[in-house]
Amino acid sequence: MRWQGLFDDLDGQWAAEERRDRDAEVADRTRAERARVALAERCAASRGAVLGVWTVTGEPLEGTLVDLGADWLLLRDGAGRELLVASAAMTAVTGLSRHSDPAVTSRRFALGYALRALSRDRASVIVTDRSGGRVSGTIDAVGQDWFDLSEHPVDEPRRTGALTGRRTIATWAVVSVLSASATRDDERY
């Protein structure tokens, strides 16, 4: 009987060691899988969720995630305003799903492509840059890593008499772009 007790004890120790090894392997695989998940994939799995987005300016932005691309998010706030946020300017996000879905993909086009669409539509915009500065106007031309903005008051159309200046903005410096046609009364962003 002594031998049987000893063997049972050894079997128990062996089974416990196998469980520890298996649990450690599962934990390692889980960490390795998470390490391959990009923030864009987490965002893509969160379409339709209300997100809080903090940017390099320190200003929190909030809205429902409507769409996203290679380097941008499109948020819609409670008032229906749409705000294009550059991913490179984001410092933190709340409201993301804990999961990601590799089958859910974002649009492949980058911020420059979205800016070209705004330029084509001749939409008045409010651009916030990394310094926290804001400027309103109309995007006239978009290059590889820059765009030209004809400055004018947001509540006036782009007309020669309304222009107050023209500036070229580096795309990497953009934090957000609010399509001003969505709101002329509120310049919160």
Within a domain: residue 14? Answer: no
pLDDT one-digit tens code per residue, 152-166: 998 888 888 889 999
Q: What is the pLDDT of residues 57-99, one digit of tens each?
A: 998 999 999 988 888 999 998 888 899 999 999 999 999 988 7
Does residue 103 have a pLDDT over 80? no
**For residues 83 and 127, is the Cβ–Cβ distance under 8 A?**
no
CATH number at residue 148: 2.30.30.600
- The mean pLDDT of 112-136, rounded to a whole number, is 93
Domain that holds residue 160: 37-189
What confidence tens digit (pLDDT) does each residue in 4-52 have? 777 777 778 877 888 777 777 766 665 556 565 677 888 888 889 999 9
Q: What integer is the mean pLDDT of 112-130? A: 93
Instruction: Kindly state whether residue 139 falls inside one of the protein's structural domains.
Output: yes
95, part of any domain: yes
pTM above 0.95?
no
pLDDT the model gives residue 187:
44
In the chain, where does DSSP find H-type helix? 2-35, 39-44, 111-121
163 part of a folded domain: yes
Rank 6-15, 40-49, 106-115, 131-140 by mean pLDDT and report only the highest: 131-140
Given this model, what pLDDT does residue 104 score? 59
- What domain count does the chain have? 1
Tokens of 79: 């008032």
Asked if residue 17 is part of any domain, the answer here is: no
Residue at 122 is within a domain: yes
Residue 150 lies in a domain: yes
Residue 43 forms part of a structural domain: yes
pLDDT > 90 fraction of the chain, expressed in percent and rounded: 48
